[in-house]
Structure 1
């Protein structure tokens, strides 16, 4: 007998996230294409692989689409940053997200100069005085 897999509706937008400490789970609330809200609860052990699986499959999907069908993606808005250094000398930039979560991004020393150049370029692009 074939195993039954329950299919959720197409989830279109992330509305919120949270932690249930008593249950030891992480929840994400989504809005569906039919404008309903769904909360999915995740055990911590599956979160890293779920994130990796979503990112990998997203790359495959977008790579296969013609340019005119590239999806309009929901952005991740950073509202603050903080620097940190690990004991091994790795530098991390903590991005504070609008959800209140901190996203640590670790960099090797050799990559920091390139990152600085890219941030300088982004700042120039974002400067309304520099636009024509």
Structure 2
């Protein structure tokens, strides 16, 4: 039987508002081994062990990640799009192609119409924060 555990995975510098929750399924033996390491003081809690394991794997693949980010022209980190940003792009006749590895957010005061008129495509590897109305307006453009 598998146990479902919700874990928060984040970078060390992230604030609680920047955390994204993921869910993983673990077998009872893996879960027991994690609990044993926590009880022996190796980790503060289950989440601490899982974050550490993920960071170790990301570090092991750091070269591939760097090369892929460069090849795919992704913006790395947190990128926030304000209403003013989109209005400037709209006034200039520009169409945005948003490509972010991390967190892309669109301000709450951005209307679905402005988003639809300004944003050509969105590729986010990580998390996209936007109002449900903006997400619905861009549904066909989010990859």
TM-score (ref. length: structure 2): 0.22
Higher percent of residues as helix: 2
TM-score (ref. length: structure 1): 0.23
The structure showing larger relative contact order (alpha-carbon pairs under 8 Å, at least 6 residues apart) is 2
Higher percent of residues as strand: 1
